[in-house]
C-alpha cells in the first residue's frame, strides 16, 4: 500500500487518515458502519458531520455502490455534545 | 448454491464465537450469515461489562468460565480486556442483607465477591461522593472488554481460517427434510448444510418459527448514553443497586451510562429525554464532576428476554441439526466466549462439558423447569 507523504485527514475529531480507510477496504470491509467502528470515524464530538459525507462519496465512487448499500450510520441524539448538568432539574433552574 | 458443514445465522458475539470454537475443534467448513454488518445487533450496542455476580448457579458458573475465556482470548487475539471489577453501591440495610447473601452464593461457586467499606470504595473510585451509601459489594473478577476490537479480531481469525462471513445477506427460512435440517434460505440463495445454528437475537424467534418451534422471547428496549472521551478516571464498573443504574469508562475514555426506565416490550427503540434526566441525576449524585462532562451519543438497544432471564442455548428437540443461542436477557456479550464453546460441544460431543450449561437448553422451557435470575440491571 502506498503511503502519502502528507496524510489526508478524513475525520478531524478522531484523526483518521485516508490511508487508514484504504487499509480497511483492503481487509474486505465494504460498509460505513464497520469502517466507523474499526477506525472511530464519526464517533467524535462532531458526530460524523464532515467525515461521513466524505466517505459516502469516496466509497460510492470507488466501490460502484449506491449510498444505501454502504450502510450509512444513523444520526444519534443529542447531535451536538451537551453538558450533563442541563439534565439535572435543580441545576437547570439555577442556570435559567 | 453454497454447501458447508455448519451454517451460523447471526454475526454477533454468539455466532462469531461459535464459529471460532468450531474451527478450534477442527470443523473446517463454516459459513456465517449476517443480515447487516457484524456486531450490528446487540453486540455493538452493549455496555461492555463482564461479570459473574449473578443470582443463579447456572449464570455464576458459566460467567465465571466465560471470564476465564475472555482473558485467554484477549491475550491470543490482542483486544482490550480488563478485570477492573464491579462495585455495587448499596444504600441501606436491606440491600446489604440481600447482597451479603448473594456474596455467599458467589463464593460457593468460586466467585470471590465481598462486602467492602465506604473507605474501600473511595480507594477504588477516585473522587466519588459516598455520602448516600452504606457500603458496597465488590466483584474483583468482573471487568470490561472493547466489543469492537473483540468481535473484529475474532472475525479476522475466522477469515484467515477460511470461514466465509456473508454480510448484508439475510436468512429468511430454515430448510428441513423430515426431522433433519438441510440448510438455510437467504436473500442471496440457498446455503446447504446438515447443521444450522441460529444466534440472531430476537429474530431467532421468527427464524425457528419457519420449522414450527415457538421460542418464548420478548424484545425490550434499553437505553444507553456515552460521554466525550476523558483520560482514565477509574477502572471498576459502578452499579447503583437502588435504581438499577450502571456507569463504566470505556477503553477509549467515554463514560457509558444506563438506568432502568419503564419500557413496553416490542416498543420502537425511541430516544427519551426522561432517560437522560434519570441517568444524569443518579450519577451526578456519586460523581459531581460529571456536571461539566458532555453527553455525546445516545442509543437504544434491546434486551432479548426469556421467561426466566437465562438464555436458551443448545439443540431444539425433534429437529436434528438445529441449534439456538438466544434470549440472553441483557448478558449476551459477556457470555459470548463460553456460549460458542458450549455450542461447539453440543454439535461435536452431543453435550456440553459443563453440567450447568446443559440445563439451559430449550428442554427446560418445554418441561416448564425455569431457572430464575434476579440480577438484571440497566
- Give the nearest partner residue to B148 out of A27, A37, A89, using CB atoms: A37
Assess if residue A55 is contained within a domain: yes
Q: How far does A51 lie from chain B, in Å, by closest CA? A: 17
B104-152 pLDDT, tens digit each: 999 999 999 999 999 999 999 999 999 999 999 999 999 999 999 999 9
**Is residue B284 less than 8 Å (CB to CB) from chain A?**
yes
Q: For chain A, list residues whose CB is within 8 angstroms of any CB belonging to chain B.
A: 27-28, 30-31, 33-34, 37-38, 40, 43, 45, 47, 69, 71, 76-78, 81-85, 87-89, 91
The strand pairing partners of B302, in sequence order, are: B221
Helix pair angle (B93-108, B57-77), 10° resolution: 70
B218-250 pLDDT, tens digit each: 999 999 999 999 999 999 999 999 999 999 999
**Residue of higher predicted confidence among B86 and B372:** B86
| A76/B299 touch (CB, cutoff 8 Å), yes or no | yes
Assess if residue A42 is contained within a domain: yes
| B281/A47 touch (CB, cutoff 8 Å), yes or no | no
**Is residue B211 less than 8 Å (CB to CB) from chain A?**
no
Q: How far does B173 lie from chain A, in Å, by closest CA? A: 23
Phi, psi of A44 (to 5 degrees): -90, -170
pLDDT for residue A95: 61
**B59/B334 Cα distance (integer angstroms):** 11
**Is residue B300 less than 8 Å (CB to CB) from chain A?**
no
Round the average pLDDT of chain B to a whole number and report it.
97
Is residue A89 over pLDDT 90? no
Closest among B172, B136, B150 to B9, alpha carbons compared: B172
pLDDT for residue A94: 61
**B20/B152 Cα distance (integer angstroms):** 12
In this prediction, what percent of chain B has a pLDDT beyond 70? 100
pLDDT for residue A93: 60
| A37/B297 touch (CB, cutoff 8 Å), yes or no | no
**Chain A residue nearest residue B276, CA to CA:** A87
Is residue A2 over pLDDT 90? no
The strand pairing partners of A64, in sequence order, are: none
Assess if residue A2 is contained within a domain: no
| B277/A87 touch (CB, cutoff 8 Å), yes or no | yes
B289-331 pLDDT, tens digit each: 999 999 999 999 999 999 999 999 999 988 999 999 999 999 9
**B179/B103 Cα distance (integer angstroms):** 45
Least confident of A41-50, B68-77, B116-125, B339-348: A41-50
Kind plus residue range of the DSSP H or E element containing B248: strand B245-249
Count CB pairs under 8 A between chains A and B: 76
| B284/A85 touch (CB, cutoff 8 Å), yes or no | yes
The answer for residues whose C-beta is within 8 angstroms of residue A91's C-beta and 6 or more apart is A85, B291
**B300/B16 Cα distance (integer angstroms):** 23
- Give the nearest partner residue to B295 out of A38, A81, A91, using CB atoms: A81
**ipTM for the complex shown:** 0.92
| A87/B280 touch (CB, cutoff 8 Å), yes or no | yes
Q: How far does A27 lie from chain B, in Å, by closest CA? A: 9
Question: How many helices and strands in chain A, by DSSP H and E?
Answer: 4, 3
Assess if residue A1 is contained within a domain: no
The answer for residues whose C-beta is within 8 angstroms of residue A72's C-beta and 6 or more apart is A32, A33, A52, A56
Closest among B323, B300, B333, B302 to B202, alpha carbons compared: B302
Is residue A92 over pLDDT 70? no
pLDDT for residue A1: 54
Q: Region B355-367: what's the mean pLDDT?
A: 96
Domain around A72: 9-95
Assess if residue A4 is contained within a domain: no
| B296/A45 touch (CB, cutoff 8 Å), yes or no | yes
**Chain B residue nearest residue A33, CA to CA:** B37
| Cβ contacts of B153 on chain A, cutoff 8 Å | none
Assess if residue A72 is contained within a domain: yes
Q: How many residues does chain A have?
A: 96
Provide the pairing of β-strand B86-90 with B237-240.
parallel
Q: How far does A80 lie from chain B, in Å, by closest CA? A: 7
Q: How far does A84 lie from chain B, in Å, by closest CA? A: 5
- Give the nearest partner residue to A78 out of B156, B252, B298, using CB atoms: B298
Q: Region B346-370: what's the mean pLDDT?
A: 96
pLDDT for residue A40: 96
CATH number of the domain enclosing A86? 1.10.10.1100
| Cβ contacts of A37 on chain B, cutoff 8 Å | 39, 44, 148, 152
Assess if residue A80 is contained within a domain: yes
* 3-state SS record for B95-125: HHHHHHHHHHHHHHCCCCCEEECHHHHHHHC
Residue pair B315/B362 in contact (Cβ under 8 Å)? The answer is: yes
What domains are defined for chain B?
A: 2-45+148-217+308-366 (3.50.50.60), 86-140+218-302 (3.30.9.10)
Q: In which band, very low, low, confident or very high, does the pLDDT at B286 lie, cut at 50, 70 and 90?
A: very high
Assess if residue A24 is contained within a domain: yes
Q: Region B8-22: what's the mean pLDDT?
A: 98
- Degrees (nearest 5) of the Cα angle B298, B302, B306? 155
**Is residue B230 less than 8 Å (CB to CB) from chain A?**
no
Q: Region B263-278: what's the mean pLDDT?
A: 91
**B376/B258 Cα distance (integer angstroms):** 12
Residue pair A44/A19 in contact (Cβ under 8 Å)? The answer is: no
A78 upstream amide cis, omega within 30 of 0: yes
pLDDT for residue B266: 83
Q: How many domains does chain A have?
A: 1
Provide the pairing of β-strand B322-326 with B195-198.
parallel
In this prediction, what percent of chain B has a pLDDT beyond 90? 95
Q: Region A44-70: what's the mean pLDDT?
A: 94
**Chain A residue nearest residue B281, CA to CA:** A88
* 3-state SS record for B21-86: HHHHCCCCCEEEECCCCCCCCCHHHCCCEECCCCCCHHHHHHHHHHHHHHHHHHHHHCCCEECCCE
| B159/A78 touch (CB, cutoff 8 Å), yes or no | no
**Chain B residue nearest residue A34, CA to CA:** B37
Amino acid at each position: 500500500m502506498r503511503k502519502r507523504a502528507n496524510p489526508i485527514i478524513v475525520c478531524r475529531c478522531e484523526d483518521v487518515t485516508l490511508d487508514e480507510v484504504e487499509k480497511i477496504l483492503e481487509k474486505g470491509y465494504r460498509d460505513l458502519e464497520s469502517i466507523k467502528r474499526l477506525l472511530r470515524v464519526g464517533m467524535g464530538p462532531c458526530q460524523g458531520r464532515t467525515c461521513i459525507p466524505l466517505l459516502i462519496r469516496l466509497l460510492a465512487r470507488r466501490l460502484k455502490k449506491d449510498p444505501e448499500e454502504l450502510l450509512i450510520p444513523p444520526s444519534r441524539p443529542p447531535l451536538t455534545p451537551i453538558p450533563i448538568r442541563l439534565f439535572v432539574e435543580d441545576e437547570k433552574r439555577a442556570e435559567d | 448454491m453454497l454447501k458447508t458443514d455448519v451454517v451460523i445465522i447471526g454475526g454477533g458475539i454468539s455466532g462469531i464465537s461459535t464459529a471460532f470454537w468450531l474451527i478450534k475443534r477442527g470443523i473446517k467448513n463454516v459459513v456465517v450469515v449476517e443480515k447487516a454488518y457484524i456486531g450490528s445487533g446487540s453486540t455493538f450496542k452493549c455496555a461492555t461489562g463482564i461479570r459473574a455476580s449473578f443470582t443463579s448457579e447456572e449464570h455464576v458458573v458459566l460467567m465465571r468460565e466465560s471470564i476465564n475465556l475472555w482473558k485467554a482470548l484477549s491475550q491470543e487475539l490482542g483486544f482490550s480486556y480488563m478485570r477492573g471489577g464491579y462495585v455495587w453501591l448499596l444504600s441501606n440495610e436491606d440491600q446489604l442483607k440481600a447482597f451479603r447473601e448473594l456474596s455467599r452464593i458467589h463464593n460457593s461457586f468460586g466467585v470471590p465477591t465481598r462486602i467492602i467499606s465506604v473507605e474501600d470504595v473511595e480507594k477504588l473510585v477516585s473522587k466519588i461522593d459516598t455520602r448516600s451509601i452504606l457500603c458496597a459489594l465488590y466483584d474483583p473478577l468482573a471487568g470490561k472488554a472493547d466489543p469492537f476490537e473483540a468481535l473484529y479480531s475474532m472475525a479476522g481469525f475466522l477469515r484467515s481460517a477460511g470461514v466465509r462471513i456473508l454480510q448484508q445477506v439475510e436468512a429468511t427460512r430454515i430448510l428441513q427434510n423430515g426431522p433433519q435440517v438441510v440448510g438455510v434460505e437467504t436473500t442471496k440463495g440457498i446455503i446447504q448444510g446438515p447443521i444450522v445454528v441460529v444466534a440472531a437475537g430476537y429474530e431467532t424467534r421468527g427464524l425457528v418459527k419457519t420449522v414450527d418451534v415457538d421460542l418464548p422471547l420478548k424484545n425490550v428496549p434499553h437505553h444507553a448514553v456515552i460521554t466525550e472521551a476523558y483520560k482514565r478516571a477509574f477502572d471498576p464498573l459502578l452499579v447503583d443497586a437502588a435504581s438499577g443504574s450502571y456507569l463504566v469508562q470505556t477503553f477509549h475514555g467515554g463514560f457509558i451510562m444506563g438506568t432502568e426506565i419503564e419500557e413496553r416490550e416490542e416498543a420502537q427503540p425511541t430516544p427519551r429525554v426522561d432517560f437522560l434526566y434519570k441517568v444524569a441525576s443518579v450519577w451526578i449524585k456519586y460523581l459531581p464532576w460529571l456536571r461539566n462532562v458532555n453527553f455525546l451519543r445516545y442509543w437504544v438497544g434491546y434486551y432479548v428476554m426469556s421467561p426466566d432471564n437465562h438464555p436458551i442455548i443448545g439443540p431444539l428437540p425433534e429437529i436434528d441439526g438445529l441449534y439456538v443461542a438466544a434470549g440472553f436477557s441483557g448478558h449476551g456479550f459477556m457470555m459470548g466466549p463460553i456460549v460458542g464453546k458450549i455450542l461447539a460441544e453440543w454439535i461435536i460431543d452431543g453435550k456440553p462439558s459443563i453440567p450447568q450449561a446443559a440445563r439451559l437448553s430449550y428442554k427446560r422451557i418445554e418441561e416448564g423447569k425455569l431457572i430464575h435470575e434476579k440480577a438484571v440491571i440497566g
